[in-house]
Amino acid sequence: MFEGHDTVSMAIIFALFCLANNPKHQEIAYQEQCQIFGNSDRVPTIPDLNEMRFLERCVKESLRLYPSVPLISRALTEPLVLKNRVIPAGQIVHIHIFDLHRDPDLFPDPERYDPDRFLPDECAKRHPFAYIPFSAGPRNCIGQRFAMYEDKSVISTVLRKYKLEAITKPEEIIFNADLVLRPKYPIKIRFRHRSKDQNNIMNKNK
C-alpha cells in the first residue's frame, strides 16, 4: 500500500508540476493523447498506455528531477572499492538519488526539464545505474511497471480535460526531509478546462 499510494501520488503531482512549467512539452504530450483517444473520454487501456511514449519520457524526466524516494540505503555484503578507498563489508551505504540525478556529468544542464533525455539512444549512453528512481539491482521496486501505468493513466486523464498553468515555480519549492520526497508547502497549478474547439480537434485527429 505504501508503494501504491504515497510514492505514486507524489510522482503524479511532480509530473503535472513539470508539465505546467513546461508548456511546450505539455502540448506535445496533449497531442499524443489526441492521437490515441480522439474525442473519447474512455478510461485508458493497457494498449493505450503502451502507446504513450512521449508521456512516459515526461514522467521519467520528472522522476529524475523529483524522485519519489530521494535516498536509499544498502548494507554491504562484501568490501566496496571506491577509487582509492575501501569500504568494509557490513557498513551501511546511503545512496542520494536526488543528487545522483542532478550530476552534470550524467545529465548535462541537470536542472533543465528535457524528456528527450530518455530517448533510447540517450539512455544507451549512460551507466545503467545513473538513473534509479525505483532503485536498482536485485532489490529494486517490484511495482515499478505498475506505478508507471498508474502515473500515465492519471496524467492522461487530466491532460485530456485540462490545460495546466504553473503558479508555483521550481525555484520556489522547499522540500521536507522525509522518506518520500514532498514539498513543505503546497504546489499550486491552475487547471483550465479545454475548450470545445480543442475537443473537436481531438475528434478529427482520431
- Binding-site residue positions: 141
- Give the right CATH number for 2-205 from 3.20.20.140, 3.40.720.10, 3.40.30.10, 1.10.630.10: 1.10.630.10
* pLDDT value of position 3: 52
pTM exceeds cut of 0.75? yes
pLDDT in tens, the chain (206 residues): 445 578 999 999 999 999 999 999 999 999 999 999 998 889 999 999 999 999 999 999 999 999 999 999 999 999 999 888 999 999 999 999 999 999 999 999 999 999 999 999 999 999 999 999 998 877 777 778 889 999 999 999 999 999 999 999 999 999 987 889 999 999 999 999 998 555 544 444 44
Extents of the domains making up the chain: 2-205
- Binding-site residue positions for heme: 141
Q: What does the H/E/C string look like for the chain? A: CHHHHHHHHHHHHHHHHHHHHCHHHHHHHHHHHHHHHCCCCCCCCHHHHHHCHHHHHHHHHHHHHCCCCCEEEEECCCCEEECCEEECCCCEEEEEHHHHCCCCCCCCCCCCCCHHHHCHHHHHHCCCCCCCECECHHHCCCCHHHHHHHHHHHHHHHHHHEEEEECCCHHHCCEECCCCCEECCCCCEEEEECCHHHHHHHHHHC
